[in-house]
Amino acid sequence: MPERAADSGAHSRARSRLVIKVTAGKDDPERCNQAFTVAAAAAASGVPVSLWLTGESAWFGLPGRADDFSLPHAAPLADLLAGILAAGSVTVCTQCAARRNIEAGDLIDGIRIAGAATFIAEIMTDGAQALVY
């Protein structure tokens, strides 16, 4: 019988990357907040995080929009976003931005606009784990 490693985790933290796509905004606040909470917790734990804002969540790439979101018993979205930006990356979907007339110059510093090819490249990286909310 083959020996098992002491830690049977799938990936070491050094090689793992978490890519989270959030597809909801104020239209589904619990799902939206869950994605931000998981991304912020991972970033705070030292896991490299890439958060993708798609659909209605694209609005949170604009200054002040996360401040206008509230959910009882949840951390403020603006605080979660700041933590993710400090330790990871945030991307607004190209098509989602275009449908909302959001341009790169409108975004919070550090947030970019990118499309499906970039998303696919991120999730196909060795050690990447993708979650969609």
Residue with the larger pLDDT of the pair 42 and 4: 42
- Interval 91-115: pLDDT, tens: 999 999 999 999 999 999 999 999 9
Q: Is the pLDDT of residue 52 over 50?
A: yes
- Between CA 39 and CA 80 the distance in angstroms is 8
- Interval 111-123: pLDDT, tens: 999 999 999 999 9
Write down the pLDDT at residue 7: 42
Domains of the chain with bracketed CATH = 17-132 (3.40.1260.10)
**Joined tokens for residue 76:** 């403020």
Q: Is the pLDDT of residue 2 over 70?
A: no
Find all residues with CB under 8 Å of 64, minimum gap 6, and list them: none
Pair 33, 74: CB distance under 8 Å = yes
Write down the pLDDT at residue 115: 98
Pair 46, 13: CB distance under 8 Å = yes
Write down the pLDDT at residue 15: 64
Q: Is the pLDDT of residue 43 over 90?
A: yes
